[in-house]
Chain A
Amino acid sequence: MNIFLYLDENTWFHRLDPRTKIIGVLLLFGLIMVFNHPLYMAAVALGLLALGAAAKALPNFWRMRYILALLVVFSTVLWPFFAKGPTPLWSWGRLEVSRESLMYAVAMGLRLASFVAAGLIFLSTTTNEEFTHGLIRLGLPYPVAFAFSTALRLVPTFAGAGATIVQAQISRGLDVESGNIFQRAGKFIPLAVPLFIYAIRHTNMLAMALESKGFNPGEPRTWYLNPQMRRADYIVLAFLTVLFLAALFLRLQGYGQVLPRL
């Protein structure tokens, strides 16, 4: 299974500098946090959906449809009990639901979904290397960035080995599906030990291969990836900054809120 979400397309969003994408997605996160009125949140969510379409990331939205739906549904059902508003609609003992808390709940559902959507757009358009490269350009030291990207890269490899190990042990009669929690924890050992040993061997081999290809984290190196900040990048960053500040201003003026909280 492929756990990476990157979709190899060539949209204007893909072509943006990774730095723009990193800062841009942070600005989007900020924007998502500003409003708690469902209508304003819906506008933000729709905007993200349009952006997703423009970046051709919708297949990943579809892949994550259950998670997105669950976030909206759960938060709409649960939030009303935790936020208190002035206009009561229904109450049962200490539990009460108000008009405002219900609206706030819908807004929170949209907010969570928007967070996931913004993250999805980023991951659908940015490869592991571009992300790392962006972080380096933003000042992260290379060895740290390299360790980070290699760790990300190894996840699917170890997941694949883990799947094989589970099958191998099931074939030997390991029953992973029954038993109470303690019995199940005991069954973890036949799976964890081979995976651990595999990880050590694999990492050691990787280290050898890296050194054999002249890798030396302390030394200067050049980059094949060479993203440039172009006009489009500055426009996007300026637009998002203005959008974020404008939203913040509106909210401080009292617009876009149903309850006086985040």
Chain B
Amino acid sequence: MGVAISIQDLSFTYAETTRPALQHINGEVEEGTFVVIMGHEGAGKSTLCYSLNALVPRFFRGEYAGQVVVHNVEVARARVAEMSRRVGLVLQDFEAQLFSTSVELEVAFGPENLCLSRDEIERRIDHYLRFVGLAEMRRREPASLSGGQKQRLAIASVLALEPPIVVMDEPTTDLDPVGREEVLSVSDLLRQERRTLVVVDQDPDTAVDADQVWLMREGEMVAQGPPRQVLTDLALLESCGVQPPPTVALFQALGWPGQPLTVEEAIALIRQHNLAQPRPLQSPAALTNGRPVILELRDVDYIYPTRAVEALSGVNLQIREGEFLALVGQNGSGKTTLAKHLNGLLKPTRGEVLFRGRPLQEIRRTEMARHVGYVFQNPDHQIFSNTVREEVGFSLRMAGMDAKTIEERVAEALAVVGLSGYEDEVPFTLTKGERQRVAVASVLAAQPQVIILDEPTTGLDYRHQRSMMEMLRDLHRRGHTVIIITHSMWVAAEYAERAVVMKDGRVLLDAPTRVAFAQEPILAEASLRPPPLLRLGNWLGTSGLTLEAMVEELR
């Protein structure tokens, strides 16, 4: 087999920046193999992807050294349009990639650029829509598809150019678990076709099946090798801001023999070496912290005025002061709709919402903003100021506070999110993780009792996810009620005390987190699965929710 991609001593610095994005990268990808690139935010993973189809250095200018050769073509000398026949690039932001008014035209766009005949374009639309499982959706408008479908359409639109190499930059980051599965199954199909596949992904689960794992840190390549070699070096993974496979971490902490990359492997090893005896799970007592109910939904129905679909139906929920609650479920299951009822952004079509026993209709929205803070998923939807200080103080100025109080509150909020000293920074220039923290601080500054966060960890790397969640845990310890909406099962498992599982606008399951994650069949109904560690825990009958707790129990 030939070499598909060969990278020799590649360095790149974006124009108008000083820090190199890539430094002396070397690498070789055999035809028909699967490479997974991992690393922290800003490690240079995307830049490396762009350098494979000439976006670097053609679209993004800068200082370029070394060379990349793709199927005997030197990339830096080719134009992006030429490279599109050889390397298909699927970008992370699928929303921004789709621009046609129908699914078939989206797929037709690439072949049209290649000047193919109409019959050939027709064939490719047919073939690749079937390939990604969207044949039924041909006439639909892309905007009306689910996240997973949109990403699969983005993949089909790139595949229609029939490139022998497919590069995907974090194709599953913004997706719910079902969407993630859908996209991963497409990448499995690509592998069966023996196409060369390069995927950037944060999840060790994806990397398990790779031929090679490339680990990047600060623009440098720190490890290249088969998954069993790279994914078992826990210290190295941590230093690159990558989540280590939890089963490997568990076995290493316990000193058990073997390095299981998956739950199935772990179970086989435990059986083989008789490492532990499965026992029935002891359910912890239902938790009531005995504090007053702060928010309550009574028989809430909600119908969006523009769509005739019931987004919530018959929801009853009581949230007590000082709880840490996770709302989980698929996209469209009603999580966000429910959360928007809690601060009065949406008014129930039927039923009522109470804040400390008072119906929400009686409370002004601006007053609610002081009681219940809401951090939206994308910090860029709210950041608008020139300095972090102004941004964080915005809600206080809106409430008409004096300059001195504002200054104090801003300092306090920034200290909580770990951004003290950032007062005069320009928020737009911060990293995504930092911007997310600015958004949280700007909500915290109003000192709301309840703080709701929509997908607080999406788009952050493992290191930033951890520090974001540690910060929320800290807020919770100070007595705040914390409500998160999340797709990340391990985040919900490790940090929330209570999990509310939503499906089709109803509450499917509402239980202490450990109890909820033990109900695998019910979770499956909502297309969810416990995180790997808890799947193993369910089999073993351990009651811990974190690695440390499980190690403690099993030792």
Residue on B nearest A8 in the bound complex, by CB:
B139
In the complex, chain A residues whose CB is within 8 Å of the CB of B93: 205
**Distance in angstroms between the alpha carbons of A167 and B346 in the assembled complex:** 10
With A150-B99, A212-B55 in contact, is A171–B343 under 8 Å at CB?
yes
Q: Which residue of B lies closest to A163 (CB)?
A: B381
Who on chain B is nearest to A130 by CB? Answer: B101
- Chain B residue numbers with a CB within 8 Å of A168 are 374, 376, 381-382
B363-383: which have CB < 8 Å to A? Answer: 365-366, 369-370, 373-374, 376, 378, 380-383
- B91 and A172 within 8 A (CB): no
**Cross-chain contact A222 with B398 (CB below 8 angstroms):** no
A165 to chain B: closest residue by CB: B381
Among B55, B125, B369, B382, max chain A CB count under 10 A is at B382
| Complex alpha-carbon distance, A157 and B150, angstroms | 14
Contact B122–A213 (Cβ < 8 Å): no
Minimum CB–CB distance for A19 against chain B, Å: 18
Min CB distance B527 to A, Å, is 25
Which residues of A are found within 8 Å of B154, using beta-carbon distances?
209
Q: Cβ of A96 < 8 Å from any Cβ of B?
A: no
Chain B residues proximal to chain A, CB less than 8 Å: 50, 53, 55, 58-59, 79-81, 84-85, 88-89, 91, 93, 95-97, 99-102, 104-105, 108-118, 121-122, 125, 139, 141, 143, 154, 157-158, 161, 306, 340, 343, 345, 365-366, 369-370, 373-374, 376, 378, 380-385, 394-395, 398-399, 428, 442-443, 446
Q: Do residues A167 and B345 form an inter-chain contact, with CB atoms below 8 A?
A: yes
A54 to chain B, nearest CB (A): 21
In contact, A211 and B81 (Cβ under 8 angstroms): yes
Q: Determine, out of A66-74, A192-200, A231-239, the stretch whose residues face the partner at the interface.
A: A192-200
| Chain B CB within 8 A of A65 CB | no
> Does B111 lie within 8 Å of A173, measured CB to CB?
no
Q: Is A252 an interface residue (CB 8 A)?
A: no
Contact A222 B376 (CB under 8 A): no
Most buried by A among B80, B122, B395: B80
Let me know if A189 is at the binding interface, CB within 8 A.
Answer: yes
- Give the nearest-CB partner of B372 in chain A: A171
Q: Are A214 and B113 in contact (CB under 8 A)?
A: yes
**A202 beta carbon closer than 8 Å to chain B:** yes
Interface size on A, residues (CB 8 A): 55
List chain A residues, Cβ under 8 A from B105.
129, 224-225
Of A153, A213, A222, A225, which contacts B116 at CB under 8 A?
A222
What is the interface of chain B mostly: helix, strand, loop, or mixed? helix
**Closest residue of chain A to B142, judged by CB?**
A153
Which B residues touch A128, using CB under 8 A? 101
Residues in chain A near residue B85, CB distance under 8 A: 214
A4-59 with Cβ < 8 A to chain B: 4, 6, 8
The minimal Cβ–Cβ distance linking B532 to chain A, given in whole angstroms, is 32
**What residues of chain A have their CB less than 8 Å away from a CB belonging to chain B?**
1-2, 4, 6, 8, 127-129, 150, 153-154, 156-157, 161, 164-165, 167-175, 189-194, 197-198, 201-202, 205-216, 219-226
Listed by A's residue number, 14 A-B pairs whose Cβ atoms lie within 8 Å are: A167-B345, A168-B376, A171-B345, A172-B443, A173-B446, A190-B382, A192-B384, A201-B380, A209-B154, A214-B110, A215-B109, A221-B115, A224-B108, A224-B112
Among residues of B, the one whose C-beta sits closest to the C-beta of A192 is B384
Q: B373, A223: Cβ atoms under 8 Å?
A: no
Give the complex CA separation of A167 and B143 in angstroms.
Answer: 21
Beyond A4-B141, A221-B115, 4 additional pairs, beta carbon < 8 A: A164-B376, A164-B378, A193-B383, A223-B112
Q: Among B95, B369, B443, which residue has its beta carbon within 8 angstroms of that of A170?
A: B369
Contact across chains for A213 and B109 when beta carbons are under 8 A apart: yes
State the Cβ distance, B401 to closest chain A Cβ, in Å: 11
Bound-complex Cα distance A129 to B141 (A): 12
Contact A212 B121 (CB under 8 A): no
B113 x A216 contact (CB < 8 A)? yes
Contact of B112 among A173, A192, A222 (CB under 8 A): A222
Known: A150-B99, A213-B84, A214-B84. Is A172-B53 also a contact (CB below 8 A)? no
A173 touches B370 (CB 8 A): yes
Q: How far is the CA of A189 from the CA of B81 in the complex (A)?
A: 39
Q: How far is the CA of A156 from the CA of B381 in the complex (A)?
A: 16
